[in-house]
Amino acid sequence: PRPGAVPPLSRRAPPAVMAEGTGTPRRERSGPPSRAASAFRRWEQLPAGCDTLARGLLAAAAGLGLLYAAAVPVRLRDGLAAVTMFLSTLTPKFYFALTVTSSFISGLIFVFEWWHFRKYGTSFIEQVSVSHLRPLIGGAESSPPAPAAFSAGENESSRQNMPECKVWRNPLNLFRGAEYSRYMWVTGKEPLTYYDMNLSAQDHQTFFTCDTDALRPSDTVMQKAWRERNPQARIKAAYQALELNNDCATAYVLLAEEEATTIVDAEKYFKQALKAGEMIYKKSQNCHSQSPQHEAQLRRDTNVLVYVKRRLAMCARKLGRIREAVKMMRDLMKEFPLLSMLNIHENLLEALLELQAYADVQAVLAKYDDISLPKSAAICYTAALLKARAVSERFSPETASRRGLSTAEINAVEAIHRAVEFNPHVPKYLLEMKSLVLPPEHILKRGDSEAVAYAFFHLQHWKRIEGALNLLHCTWEGTFRMIPYPLEKGHLFYPYPSCTETADRELLPTFHEVSVYPQKELPFFIHFTAGLCSFSAMLALLTHQFPELMVIFAKA
| End-to-end Cα separation, the chain, in angstroms | 79
Residue 490: per-residue pLDDT = 77
Query: How far is Cα 311 from Cα 267, in angstroms, rounded to an integer?
Result: 8
More confident residue, 263 or 535: 263
DSSP E strand stretches across 271-343? none
281-283-288 Cα angle (round to 5):
90
Same domain, 434 and 548: no
Partners of 443 in the β-ladder: 168
Please indicate, yes or no, if residue 370 is contained in any of the structural domains. Answer: yes
Domain final position from 338, 355, 372: 355
Query: Would you call the peptide bond into 518 cis, given omega within 30 degrees of 0 as the criterion?
Result: yes
Indicate the pLDDT class of residue 22, thresholds 50, 70 and 90.
very low
Query: How far is Cα 381 from Cα 377, in angstroms, rounded to an integer?
Result: 6
Please indicate, yes or no, if residue 475 is contained in any of the structural domains. Answer: yes
Same domain, 415 and 276: no
171-196 confidence digits (pLDDT tens):
999 999 999 999 999 999 999 999 99
In three-state secondary structure terms, 94 is helix
DSSP state of 36: H
How big, in percent rounded to 5, are the helix, strand and coil portions of the chain?
Answer: 65, 0, 30
List of long-range contacts for 135-141, beta carbons under 8 Å, 24+ apart: none
Does position 1 have pLDDT exceeding 70, yes or no? no
Backbone angles phi, psi at 38, to 5 degrees: -65, -40
Please indicate, yes or no, if residue 487 is contained in any of the structural domains. Answer: yes
Same domain, 212 and 319: yes
Same domain, 362 and 335: no
In three-state secondary structure terms, 17 is strand
Same domain, 317 and 401: no
Same domain, 334 and 383: no
Residue 211: per-residue pLDDT = 82
**Residues contacting residue 84 through CB under 8 Å, at least 6 positions apart:** 555
DSSP state of 477: G
Length of the chain measured in residues: 556
Does position 161 have pLDDT exceeding 90, yes or no? no
Please indicate, yes or no, if residue 54 is contained in any of the structural domains. Answer: no
> Cβ(16)–Cβ(25) under 8 Å?
yes
Same domain, 531 and 489: no
In three-state secondary structure terms, 228 is coil
Q: How many domains does the chain have?
A: 3
276-291 confidence digits (pLDDT tens):
999 988 888 887 666 7
Please indicate, yes or no, if residue 187 is contained in any of the structural domains. Answer: no
Name the range with the highest mean pLDDT among 10-24, 208-222, 341-355: 341-355
Q: What is the DSSP string of 21-34?
A: TSSSEEEPPP-PPP
Closest CA to 382 of 417, 425, 415: 415
> Cβ(195)–Cβ(441) under 8 Å?
no
490-522 confidence digits (pLDDT tens):
787 888 888 888 899 999 999 999 988 876 656
Query: How far is Cα 545 from Cα 556, in angstroms, rounded to an integer?
Result: 19
Please indicate, yes or no, if residue 245 is contained in any of the structural domains. Answer: yes
**Residues contacting residue 114 through CB under 8 Å, at least 6 positions apart:** 526
Residue 427: per-residue pLDDT = 94
Longest dimension (CA), the chain: 135
For residue 332, what is the domain's CATH number? 1.25.40.10
Domain final position from 301, 329, 355: 355
Domain final position from 307, 328, 355: 355
Same domain, 368 and 508: yes
Residue 308: per-residue pLDDT = 94
More confident residue, 542 or 184: 184
State the average pLDDT over residues 244-271.
Answer: 94
> Cβ(53)–Cβ(64) under 8 Å?
no
Signed CA dihedral, 441, 442, 446, 447: sign only: negative
Distances (CA, A) of 37 to 15, 33, 40, 42, 49: 18, 6, 5, 9, 22
Least confident window among 48-57, 389-398, 453-462? 48-57
Classify burial at 59, counting beta carbons within 10 Å of its beta carbon; exposed 0-12, middle 13-18, buried 19 or more.
Answer: exposed
- Residue 525's Cα: distance from chain center in Å? 22
What pTM did the predictor assign? 0.67
Residue 67: per-residue pLDDT = 62
Same domain, 349 and 418: no
Residue 162: per-residue pLDDT = 38
Does position 329 have pLDDT exceeding 80, yes or no? yes
Residue 70: per-residue pLDDT = 62
Query: How far is Cα 385 from Cα 364, in angstroms, rounded to an integer?
Result: 14
Does position 532 have pLDDT exceeding 80, yes or no? no
Same domain, 345 and 201: yes
Q: Which amino acid is at 190?
A: E
Residue 469: which H helix or E strand, with range?
Answer: helix 468-475
State the average pLDDT over residues 24-37.
Answer: 46
Same domain, 451 and 323: no
Residue 90: per-residue pLDDT = 64
DSSP state of 169: E
Distances (CA, A) of 218 to 69, 242, 280: 94, 7, 13
267-273-275 Cα angle (round to 5):
105
Query: How far is Cα 258 from Cα 235, in angstroms, rounded to an integer?
Result: 7
Domain housing 258: 193-355
Please indicate, yes or no, if residue 127 is contained in any of the structural domains. Answer: no
Please indicate, yes or no, if residue 263 is contained in any of the structural domains. Answer: yes
- Residue 530's Cα: distance from chain center in Å? 27
Same domain, 275 and 413: no
